[in-house]
Amino acid sequence: MRKIETEMNAAILNNQDWKSGNTVVTSFNGVSHVFLFGNKIAEVGDNFIRLFDGGHQTATTKSRLNAILAEHGAPGECVFQKNFEWFIRLWNGTEFFTTEFRNSMKLGALPADLCLAG
């Protein structure tokens, strides 16, 4: 994990505002909002993570999202690319599954069976 991503995760964990280079974390009402080049790429609360691509499915965006998932998601969850399309590997409480990455997808807020049904 890059130094900037370690610092970003510390700011999220401590619910602090932080900025370094192209990455910004702002905290409001217990939710950390993460921006890359001014585009929102994540919201992290006590019991959820919401992921965005910020309009740019780049290696840097994917790296930041994977750093967030590694620190605040379930172990093994990640965003990856195959044939120019983004996918996400998620833990549903019983097993891992892979699905297409959807902008604004929210992880962790609903029981796994409700997430899979929607």
Dump pLDDT digits (tens) for 50-82: 999 999 999 999 999 999 999 999 899 999 999
Where do the domains of the chain lie?
3-117
Instruction: Give yes or no for residue 117 having a pLDDT over 50.
Output: no
Give the integer Cα–Cα distance in Å for 18 and 107: 23
- H helix runs in the chain, sequence order: 3-13, 59-72, 112-117
- Report the pLDDT value the prediction gives residue 109, as an integer from 0 to 100: 52
CA separation for the pair 49, 115 (Å, rounded): 13
Average pLDDT over residues 75-99: 94
Dihedral (CA of 17, 29, 58, 70) sign: positive
Angle value at C-alpha 10, between 111 and 12, nearest 5 degrees: 45
Mean pLDDT across the stretch 32-54? 96
> How large a percentage of the chain has pLDDT more than 90?
86
